[in-house]
Amino acid sequence: MTTSNSELQSWVDDIAKLTQADEIHWCDGSDAEYRRLVQQMLADGTLSELNQETHPNCYLHRSDPSDVARVEHLTFICTENEEDAGPNNHWMAPAAAHAKIDQLFDGCMKGRTLYVIPYCMGPLESPYSRCGVEITDSPYVVINMKIMTRMGTAALQRIEKDGTFVRGLHSIGELDPERRFIMHFPAELSIKSYGSGYGGNALLGKKCHALRIASYQARTEGWLAVHMLIVGVENPAGETHYLACAFPSACGKTNLAMLIPPESHKGWKIWTLGDDIAWLQVDEDGQLRAINPEAGYFGVVPGTNEKTNRNAYEMIRHDTIYTNVGVTADNQPWWEGLTEGTPVLDWQGRPYDPEVSPAAHPNSRFTVSASQNASYSTLADAADGVPIAALVFGGRRREVAPLVYQAKSWAHGVLVGAGVASETTAAAAGEVGVVRRDPMAMQPFCGYNFADYWAHWLSFEQRSDKLPGIFHVNWFRQNKDGDFLWPGFGENLRVLRWIIDRCEKRVDALATPIGMLPAIADIDTEGLDIDPAVMEELLSVDHTQWSAEMTALAEDFSRYGDRLPTELSHQLQTVIEELAAKDAA
Ligand code: OXD
Ligand code: MN
Of all residues in the chain, what percent carry a pLDDT higher than 90? Answer: 94
Q: What pLDDT, on the 0 to 100 scale, is given for residue 1?
A: 57
Q: Is 503 a catalytic residue?
A: no
Q: What pLDDT, on the 0 to 100 scale, is given for residue 432?
A: 63
276 touches ligand 1 (CB under 6 Å): yes
The sign of the dihedral angle between the CA atoms of 187, 88, 171, 277 is negative
249 touches ligand 1 (CB under 6 Å): yes
Flag whether pLDDT at 74 surpasses 50: yes
Nearest to 387 by CA among 485, 516, 522, 284: 284
Ligand 1 atom 2 nearest Cα: 249
Taking only the tens place, the pLDDT of each residue in 457-501 is: 999 999 999 999 999 999 999 998 999 999 999 999 999 999 999
The whole model's pTM is what? 0.97
Strands, DSSP E only, in 292-400? Answer: 296-300, 321-323, 326-328, 333-334, 343-345, 365-369, 386-394
- Phi–psi pair at 159, nearest 5 degrees: -60, -40
Atom of ligand 1 nearest to the CA of 227: 4
443 touches ligand 1 (CB under 6 Å): no
In DSSP terms, which residues pair with 225 in a beta bridge? 279
Identify whether the C-beta of residue 352 lies closer than 8 Å to the C-beta of residue 246. no
Atom of ligand 1 nearest to the CA of 445: 4
Ligand 1 atom 4 nearest Cα: 249
Q: What is the DSSP letter of 330?
A: T
Nearest to 209 by CA among 151, 273, 287: 151
Nearest to 211 by CA among 232, 187, 228, 230: 228
Q: What pLDDT, on the 0 to 100 scale, is given for residue 215?
A: 98
Catalytic residue among 120, 245, 251, 446: 251
200 touches ligand 1 (CB under 6 Å): yes
Ligand 2 geometric centre to CA of 206 (Å): 9
Identify whether the C-beta of residue 150 lies closer than 8 Å to the C-beta of residue 295. yes
Ligand 2 geometric centre to CA of 276 (Å): 5
Residues with Cβ < 8 Å from 381, sequence gap 6 or more?
A: 123
Identify whether the C-beta of residue 568 lies closer than 8 Å to the C-beta of residue 506. no
Taking only the tens place, the pLDDT of each residue in 163-193 is: 999 999 999 999 999 999 999 999 999 999 9
The residue ranking higher by pLDDT, 200 or 550, is 550
Q: What pLDDT, on the 0 to 100 scale, is given for residue 431?
A: 65
Ligand 1 atom 6 nearest Cα: 249
Atom of ligand 1 nearest to the CA of 365: 3
Domains and CATH numbers, the chain: 6-46+74-221 (3.40.449.10), 226-295+379-584 (3.90.228.20), 296-372 (2.170.8.10)
What dihedral angle (degrees, nearest 10) is formed by the CA atoms of 378, 380, 385, 386? 70
Specify the pairing of strand 321-323 against strand 190-194: unpaired
Q: What pLDDT, on the 0 to 100 scale, is given for residue 490?
A: 95
Q: What pLDDT, on the 0 to 100 scale, is given for residue 434?
A: 85
Q: What pLDDT, on the 0 to 100 scale, is given for residue 429?
A: 47
3-state secondary structure 147-205: HHCEECHHHHHHHHHHCCCEEEEEECCCCCHHHCEEEEEHHHCEEEEECCCCHHHHCCH
CA dist 86 and 159 (Å) reads 31
Work out the pLDDT band at 427, boundaries 50, 70, 90: very low
Name the residue of 201, 212, 249, 364 whose CB sits within 8 Å of the most ligand 1 atoms, as the mutation to test its pocket: 249
CA dist 70 and 200 (Å) reads 6
Phi-psi region at 197: left, alpha or beta (left = phi > 0; alpha = psi -120 to 50) = alpha
**pLDDT, the chain, mean:** 96
Flag whether pLDDT at 205 surpasses 60: yes
